[in-house]
Chain A
Amino acid sequence: DQQVKQNSPSLSVQEGRISILNCDYTNSMFDYFLWYKKYPAEGPTFLISISSIKDKNEDGRFTVFLNKSAKHLSLHIVPSQPGDSAVYFCAASESGANSKLTFGKGITLSVRP
């Protein structure tokens, strides 16, 4: 059973507009959430993260929002740029020495010029 779900497989937005990528989780023990960006034939690169004690974290054009009660997080990219076109993975982890990342299936973002 998938514990991290990215239900929309793809998203297409116009350059300059906002991209909103959603992620849901089922494991209430998850307390840290990360977003990774992946280009074809490359490894994922870390983008932004958020701890469960926060509800928002911002880094430049990227903001992650966490709604613990709904077990939902979202990544906002403003403004979107063609170079943002990639697959975005949501990942979650419990705390502790045995912490491992559980990934969603990813969302393919296409930013149209």
Chain B
Amino acid sequence: EADIYQTPRYLVIGTGKKITLECSQTMGHDKMYWYQQDPGMELHLIHYSYGVNSTEKGDLSSESTVSRIRTEHFPLTLESARPSHTSQYLCASSEWQGANYYEQYFGPGTRLTVT
């Protein structure tokens, strides 16, 4: 069973506020990801990391930033929240399986609403 945690689970915040979404995993996985997902839509990769001090932008452009100072921790920050940032944010991790990083384990998600 995968152990990956996200806090907060729900967040309602006003426009212009700075927010940090937390993600931690206890499996020692080197690769971690952030996805954004809206109802009825696919998961869009917004950031990923191969390991400590490694961060890359995903396929969907995002105004958020990420950091990876510790293997187990991959927080996502929005400097100035806007209503267009309202979405569900999902964190995931995976480990090298000899030829690929196929299977990803997901956290419970953070439902962000910006008013």
Using CB atoms and an 8 Å cutoff, list the residues of chain A in contact with chain B.
2, 4, 9, 32, 34, 36, 41-46, 49, 89, 93, 95-97, 99-106
B contact residues vs A (CB 8 Å cutoff): 4, 6, 9, 40-43, 45, 48, 58-59, 90-92, 96, 99-109, 111
> CB < 8 Å: which of A32, A42, A45, A89 contacts B43?
A89
Minimum CB–CB distance for B5 against chain A, Å: 10
Which of A9, A36, A42, A100 contacts B109 (CB under 8 A)? A42
Cα separation A49 to B97 with both chains bound (whole Å):
14
Which one of B4, B40, B104, B111 lies within 8 Å of A9 (CB-CB)? B40
Q: Do the beta carbons of B103 and A99 come within 8 Å of each other?
A: no
**29 interchain pairs (CB within 8 A)?**
A4-B42, A32-B100, A36-B106, A41-B108, A41-B109, A43-B4, A43-B6, A43-B106, A43-B109, A44-B43, A46-B103, A46-B104, A49-B102, A89-B42, A89-B43, A93-B100, A95-B100, A96-B99, A96-B100, A99-B100, A99-B102, A100-B58, A101-B43, A101-B102, A103-B42, A103-B43, A105-B42, A106-B41, A106-B42
